[in-house]
A = this chain, B = another copy of it.
Amino acid sequence: MYQNSQNVSKAKSRRSVGEGGQGRSRRPAYTREEVARAALDLLDRVGLDGLTMRTLAQELGVGTMTLYGYFRDKEELLDAVVDAAAAEHNITPPSGSWQDQLRYLVGELRSALARHPAILELRLRRPLLSPGILRGTEIGYSALMQAGFSRAETARAFRILFLYTFGFVAFSAESVTDEVRHQVQAAALLLPEAEYPTLVASAKETAEVMGGDAQFEFGLDIILQGLDARRAGRGRRPTRRSRGE
């Protein structure tokens, strides 16, 4: 379902090694993708620290060193795991206004990241570029360009939405429970009021804002509103907001 043509053919060519006639040579027990999916599954269950070459091998019923036949490194395995997570991500081209389309895309990205929390940390270090991931980018780009944004603005705008979503999930994942919220509120209330008057007064609001759908939607609205304002103002006054006044 992802990178179809290339991967399938690669797997096939691996499988068809025995066509020589002797048919005695062993063929790999798994494909790269199968190993990656097993690793993703294990990752979901035991977290990033629990994903070990040893435990993964055990899970698959092979010797540890067998894994090094599929991947040069643990690093390379982890890249494949990120790819496997992206492969699950099946987005259908949305309809509606450009804002609606982007809302949908960003929502999909958010839920995809939430489905495999450990993936996020993995992606921090790699600028991922596999086709599966870029499918969403393509759709977002075309929505923005149809709305009248230039190519440069489109790239910038999509990047903002992408970064916001990533930042949100990274810091507002389901790890922000009610308990964490209470801790935050308590910590804010303990601050010296002389130095932190506004924060002490807003302790409750600060805690509420740590996560949740409402906060996510609010930020999304703000960004889309800002983009819309930028779009509307085009040509008239090319935004000299960055200057002094």
Interface residues in chain A, defined as those with a beta carbon under 8 Å from any beta carbon in chain B: 97, 99, 120-121, 124, 127, 129, 131, 134-135, 137-138, 141-142, 145, 151-152, 154-157, 159-160, 163-168, 170-172, 176, 180, 183-184, 187-188, 191, 195-199, 201-202, 205-206, 208-210, 215, 217-219, 221-227, 229-230, 239, 241-242, 245
Q: Are B127 and A180 in contact (CB-based, < 8 A)?
A: yes
Q: How far is the CB of A90 from chain B (nearest CB, A)?
A: 14
Q: How far is the CB of A141 from chain B (nearest CB, A)?
A: 4
Q: Are A196 and B138 in contact (CB-based, < 8 A)?
A: yes
Task: Determine the chain B residues whose CB is within 8 A of the CB of A180 once the complex forms.
Answer: 127
Q: Are B215 and A156 in contact (CB-based, < 8 A)?
A: yes
A224's partner among B135, B195, B226 (CB-CB below 8 A) is B226
Task: Determine the chain B residues whose CB is within 8 A of the CB of A226 once the complex forms.
Answer: 221-227, 229
Residue of B nearest to A166 (CB): B167
A122 to B120, CA, bound (A): 13
A156 to B219, CA, bound (A): 8
**8 closest residue pairs by CB, A with B:** A167-B167, A226-B226, A163-B167, A222-B226, A155-B205, A225-B226, A141-B198, A160-B219
Q: Are A230 and B222 in contact (CB-based, < 8 A)?
A: yes
Task: Determine the chain B residues whose CB is within 8 A of the CB of A120 once the complex forms.
Answer: 124
